């Protein structure tokens, strides 16, 4: 039992160490933050907005305050009274800020609502840079400046997500999932492998280059818009760059049910990514990201029988080393530790269950929509 526990623990720590080493190598190359006074001038920030989240106005206002020179394009639904009210309130509070509110009808059947609105606004953009930013994401002036500094060397630059939680268990669990994995997933393999996809919460492109690449119109039939955009750009030989600039996400997650729905959608999108990759890439992702939660389960189960023996000591060492690695990465990536020990472990242990759920259940809830998903380009209202 002790040998088995030691072997499983060693395998877990080796995989964690490999990803952490790659991520830390990338983070050490982060440029110094010298652009904190950049106001966003020359950037069109496209934000598809949907009301209903009580944090919506607060997050939108935070971006207005951080980036007073950017031109915000708020993409609203005609039927979304809450979203339109929040936008109207902020436009009245910030009358001197360049804000354009655009109303859109409901997206047709089989069309991604987010991409439908992005495609509609692109012809109106006059700024040289387009930045797509989710309505639950906060971007600092320094982070935007870093992304723009990196943009001349790539066709698309995407930010590194971190999650701000609140006192609710669902939000804390989601925050631990994101903050556990963001550096390990997005940065861990960059020293050896180019990005396979992008973080759709925040990414930037030169406006002219985006139009040359076809804009958003070819992606309207794809449900996972970030995955579709990344694949379309890769197919055209475009360069994707994963920045270490941090974008902070905060979503109201009032219940565990809402947390489960969000994780279900993310895991289904991850399966869509794997589906179109080569077998070696699928095997690599499965080994580096799918296997560790199962190894952690094994470490803890072996520690439970017999109790207080050598396997329990091994499990304690694994948990301590795991926490130390994650806290160091979080501090380096986002400026502070976001680790909650118990919930962090629980979030990792739940990952295989969320993945199994996404494998078996192809119907997802995306805000106000309920979709049955057969493939990224085949989905319909359920």
pLDDT tens digits along 248-265: 998 888 889 989 999 999
Confidence (pLDDT) at 367: 67
Cis peptide before 306 (omega within 30 of 0): yes
Regions of the chain with pLDDT less than 70: 33-36, 367, 382
Counting beta carbons within 10 angstroms of the beta carbon of residue 312, is it exposed (0 to 12), middle (13 to 18) or buried (19 or more)?
A: middle
Confidence (pLDDT) at 293: 97
Given the structure tokens 């952490």, which residue do they identify? 20
Confidence (pLDDT) at 33: 64
Give the separation between CA 43 and CA 130, rounded to whole angstroms: 6
Domain boundaries, the chain: 2-26+277-381, 34-252
Confidence (pLDDT) at 252: 84
* DSSP secondary structure letter of residue 336: S
Paired tokens of 356: 């199994």
Confidence (pLDDT) at 13: 98
Asked whether the beta carbons of 38 and 141 are under 8 A apart, the reply is: yes
Instruction: Tell me the pLDDT tens digit for each residue of 108-162.
Output: 888 899 999 999 999 999 999 999 999 999 999 999 999 999 999 999 999 999 9
Asked whether the beta carbons of 225 and 114 are under 8 A apart, the reply is: yes
Confidence (pLDDT) at 275: 85
Given the structure tokens 């805000």, which residue do they identify? 367
Query: Sign of the CA dihedral 62, 127, 226, 241?
Result: negative
Give the separation between CA 8 and CA 314, rounded to whole angstroms: 10
Q: Which CATH superfamily is domain 34-252 in?
A: Spore Coat Polysaccharide Biosynthesis Protein SpsA; Chain A (3.90.550.10)
Asked whether the beta carbons of 249 and 201 are under 8 A apart, the reply is: yes
Confidence (pLDDT) at 87: 97
Count the helices and strands in the chain (H runs, E runs).
13, 11
């Amino acid at each position: 039992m002790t040998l088995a526990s030691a072997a499983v623990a060693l395998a877990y720590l080796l995989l964690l160490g490999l990803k952490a080493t790659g991520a830390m190598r990338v983070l050490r190359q982060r440029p110094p933050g010298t652009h904190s006074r950049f106001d966003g001038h020359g950037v069109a920030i496209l934000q598809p907005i949907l009301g209903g989240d009580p944090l919506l106005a607060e997050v939108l206002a935070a971006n207005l305050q951080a980036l007073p020179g950017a031109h915000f394009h708020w993409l609203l639904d005609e039927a979304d009274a809450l979203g339109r009210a929040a936008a109207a309130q902020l436009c009245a509070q910030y009358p001197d800020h360049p804000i354009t509110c655009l109303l859109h009808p409901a997206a047709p059947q089989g069309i991604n609502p987010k991409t439908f609105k992005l495609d509609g606004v692109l012809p109106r953009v006059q700024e040289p840079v387009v930045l797509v930013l989710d309505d639950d994401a906060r971007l600092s002036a320094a982070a935007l400046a870093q992304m723009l500094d990196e943009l001349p060397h790539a066709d698309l630059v995407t930010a590194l997500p971190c999650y701000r939680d609140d006192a609710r268990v669902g939000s804390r669990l989601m925050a631990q999932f994101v903050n556990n994995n963001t550096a390990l997933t997005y940065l861990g393999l960059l020293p050896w492998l180019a990005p396979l996809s992008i973080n759709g919460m925040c990414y930037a492109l030169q406006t002219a280059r985006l139009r040359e690449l076809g804009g958003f119109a070819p992606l309207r039939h794809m449900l996972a818009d970030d995955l579709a955009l990344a694949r379309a750009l890769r197919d055209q030989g475009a360069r994707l760059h994963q920045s270490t600039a941090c974008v902070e996400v905060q979503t109201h997650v009032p219940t565990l049910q809402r947390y489960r729905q969000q994780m279900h959608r993310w895991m289904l999108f991850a399966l869509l990514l794997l589906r179109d990759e080569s077998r070696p890439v699928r095997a690599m992702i499965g080994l580096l990201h799918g296997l560790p939660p199962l190894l952690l389960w094994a470490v803890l189960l072996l520690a439970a029988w017999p109790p207080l023996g050598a396997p329990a000591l091994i499990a304690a060492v694994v948990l301590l080393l795991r926490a130390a690695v994650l806290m160091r990465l979080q501090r380096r990536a986002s400026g502070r530790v976001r680790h909650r020990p118990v919930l962090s472990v629980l979030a990792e242990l739940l990952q295989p269950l969320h993945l199994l759920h996404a494998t078996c259940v192809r119907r997802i809830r995306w805000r106000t929509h309920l979709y049955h998903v057969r493939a990224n380009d085949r989905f319909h209202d359920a």
